[in-house]
């Protein structure tokens, strides 16, 4: 199967790979797995007092589409409010990366990672 140019670009030059310090109270973590293939994605968001995502990092153990999807969302969420980030849909990701049908679940993993990180933030705040 051929990957799109955008997938290859993110795969070869992934943006924002890495982790923030675990004990940083401004950091929320979303860790999700894809039952279909066993791939795992970790997304961390650094969130300001006013609920704006200031920075994002990811680590993904998975296919090229999963890596490209997570790289893309780290760029998209920066500067967004949590509400805006939560509104990012897997269909936005798969359209941007021109993912074929068998790779749609890779973009769903990325959407789930954003939601999981936001849930983590809310449970830390509560």
- Residues forming the active site: 37, 106
CB 73 within 8 A of CB 96: no
Do residues 72 and 7 lie in contact, with contact meaning Cβ atoms separated by under 8 Å? no
Radius of gyration of the chain (CA): 14
Tell me which stretch binds ligand FES (CB under 6 A): 19-27, 31-39, 48-56, 88-96: 31-39
Q: Which of 29, 44, 65, 70 binds ligand FES (CB under 6 A)?
A: 65
Under 8 Å CB-to-CB from 122, ≥6 apart: which residues? none
d(CA 66, CA 41): 8
Q: Does 106 bind ligand FES (CB under 6 A)?
A: yes
Smaller CB separation from ligand FES, 25 or 35: 35
In the complex, minimum distance from the CB of residue 4 to ligand FES, in angstroms, rounded to a whole number: 14
Could you give the 3-state DSSP secondary structure of residue 119?
helix
Residue showing the smallest CB distance to ligand FES in the complex: 63
* Distance of closest approach, residue 61 Cβ to ligand FES, in angstroms: 9
- Total binding residues toward ligand FES, as defined by CB under 6 A: 13
């Amino acid at each position: 199967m051929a990957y799109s140019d955008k997938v290859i670009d993110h795969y070869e030059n992934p943006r924002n790979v890495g982790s923030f310090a675990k004990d940083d109270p401004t950091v929320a973590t979303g860790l999700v797995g894809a039952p279909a293939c066993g791939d795992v994605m970790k997304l961390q968001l650094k969130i300001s007092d006013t609920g704006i995502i200031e920075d994002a990092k990811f680590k993904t153990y998975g296919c090229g589409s999963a890596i490209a999807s997570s790289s893309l969302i780290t760029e998209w969420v920066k500067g967004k409010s949590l509400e805006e980030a939560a509104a990012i849909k897997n269909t936005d990701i798969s359209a941007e990366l021109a993912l074929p049908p068998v790779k749609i679940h890779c973009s769903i993993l990325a959407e789930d990672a954003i939601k999981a990180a936001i849930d983590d933030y809310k449970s830390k705040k509560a």
